[in-house]
Amino acid sequence: VDVHVTLEGRGDLSVRIYRQLFDAVSDGRLRAGEQLPPTRELALRLAVSRNTVALAYERLVAEGLLEGRVGAGTFVADGPVRTRARHAPSGAPLELRRFWRTPPGPLGVPSADPPYDFRAGNPDRHLFPYAAWRRLVARELRPSAFRHTDYGDPAGHAGLRAAVARHVGVARGVRADADDVIVTQGAQQALDLVGRVLIEPGACVAVESPGYPPARQLFRSLGARVVGVPVDGEGLVVSRLPRTARLVYVTPSHQFPLGLPQSARRRAALLSWAESRNAVVIEDDYDSEFRFAGRPLDPLQNLDRGGRVVYVGSFSKVMLPALRLGFLIAPASLRPALRAAKWLTDAHAPVPTQAALARFIDGALLSRHIRRMSREYAARHARVVAALGRDFGAFLRPVPSAAGLHVAALARPGVDVVRAADRAAERGVAIRTLSYFGEGEDAPDGLVIGYGAIPVERVDEGLRRLRACFGAGGARG
Ligand SMILES: Cc1ncc(COP(=O)(O)O)c(C=O)c1O
């Protein structure tokens, strides 16, 4: 390894080199088996005599930290794992912008798989077509795939933008062509880009309450004044929107986390409200590819006549969240700014991954995977809904839903769902409450039951364990 050694300081040159190497081995930066640079090379780099370096090495060999191998070089010796703490410079706390002084915790911190995983949001990673995806990515890592050695287009790979436009056109009725699409790292980056180009400090952004915490927190981090707007049986209550909202973030196909669709009437009302207030609407359509019953309503993007809807899509549910793939479809007036924001933020999404995804879509692998997963999730959805009706009637009232990877159920009066969820965790059942997504705002009491990550044959046992956590009776009092 190319170890960092300087000659700063005082005293014998050889001793200075010795000390730095000693520290690097002791604190674990250099690990057993790693090779040190040849004495000649390090001496040349430091402009000292070879003997000066050799002396330092010899001392470390004598102390058992390094070992010479004839004809091969000098290596860090095997020995007890060295973990002496290495101290980063410390000092007075540095001044952060106000929002970051209490940073929001990530919702999706990796954790071990619980035996019965009803956490909302995760797709079934065991059923992803890894071999096909690997082949497509490998193909894009051949030298011939790199026709350009410089950076790619910030808006995304041309083939992928066209494939995405076709895919959402067919699957969701979104009206777009390739030029309208900007490829992002997940839906989250799409929200970030829109926020960056629209939110002036202190501007009002309206979000659903309960809603998707990462969106709310992101807008706040960009300096917005974020206002939660209630959701009822028809979705976001348009009449409760703050008059000054410049941006409205909604999940109309499958409200997160309540799971119901926004009614056609409310969609029309939201669009005409945005028109009258000169506001922009972000439509986050994160998981509606999975639909089990009924006819999907037209997306806001399709109903929008005034060019005020930004449609945001994600490949986190239909593929894997870890791939970080998503996109936005924006009205023409926002596109140059969004493209520039993408460029300033991270130049563009990795080209090989984008090209592989284009082939994944064009080769119908994505639609085949979605069809397969829809059948799978439909079976799980049916099991969950049946069990809720059969066994939980005294405690929970399911919210009707026919799409996505989770259903919500409201607590009947007096039922303590937080306690039930805590108890369930002790029995290997991971499940989240609605209040978890409400950030202390006016979220109703209830549970969000995700079935993306739990195989259908484990659903019944998982819910049986959950049921036991509610005790024998129904509502208290
Ligand atoms: C409402 C909502 N939007 C978007 C996403 C996906 O975000 P991303 O594409 O950044 O993974 C999720 C995932 O849980 C979600 O619940």
Q: What is the pLDDT of residue 72?
A: 94
Q: 394-422 pLDDT, tens per residue?
A: 999 999 988 999 999 999 999 999 999 99
Q: What is the pLDDT of residue 476?
A: 47
Positions in the chain whose pLDDT score sits under 50: 476-477
- In three-state secondary structure terms, 274 is helix
Whether 313 is in the pocket of ligand 1, judged by its Cβ within 6 Å, is: no
CA of 313 from ligand 1 middle (Å) equals: 9
CA of 157 from ligand 1 middle (Å) equals: 22
CA–CA gap between residue 17 and residue 46 (Å, rounded): 10
Name the residue at shortest CA distance from atom 3 of ligand 1.
286
What's the pTM? 0.91
Whether 253 is in the pocket of ligand 1, judged by its Cβ within 6 Å, is: no
CA–CA gap between residue 151 and residue 272 (Å, rounded): 41
Q: 308-355 pLDDT, tens per residue?
A: 999 999 999 999 999 999 999 999 999 999 999 999 999 999 999 999
CA of 316 from ligand 1 middle (Å) equals: 7
CA distances from 399 to 402, 432, 448 (A): 10, 15, 10
Q: What is the pLDDT of residue 106?
A: 67
Q: What is the pLDDT of residue 108?
A: 58
Whether 122 is in the pocket of ligand 1, judged by its Cβ within 6 Å, is: no
Mutate to test the pocket of ligand 1, among 185, 194, 212 (most ligand atoms within 8 A of CB): 212
Burial class (CB in 10 A: 0-12, 13-18, 19+), 223: middle
Q: What is the pLDDT of residue 75?
A: 96
Mutate to test the pocket of ligand 1, among 314, 328, 405 (most ligand atoms within 8 A of CB): 314
Q: What is the pLDDT of residue 202?
A: 97
CA of 257 from ligand 1 middle (Å) equals: 11
Nearest-5° Cα angle at 264, 259 to 269: 105
Are 384 and 459 in contact, with CB atoms under 8 Å apart? yes
Q: 196-255 pLDDT, tens per residue?
A: 999 999 999 999 999 999 999 999 999 999 999 999 999 999 999 999 999 999 999 999
Are 408 and 399 in contact, with CB atoms under 8 Å apart? yes
Nearest Cα to Cα of residue 291 among 375, 231, 367: 375
Q: What is the pLDDT of residue 293?
A: 87
Q: What is the pLDDT of residue 262?
A: 96
Whether 314 is in the pocket of ligand 1, judged by its Cβ within 6 Å, is: yes
323 φ, ψ (degrees, to nearest 5): -75, -20
CA of 158 from ligand 1 middle (Å) equals: 24
CA of 120, closest atom in ligand 1: 14
Mutate to test the pocket of ligand 1, among 254, 287, 434 (most ligand atoms within 8 A of CB): 287
Helical pair 130-140 and 351-362, crossing angle rounded to 10 deg: 130
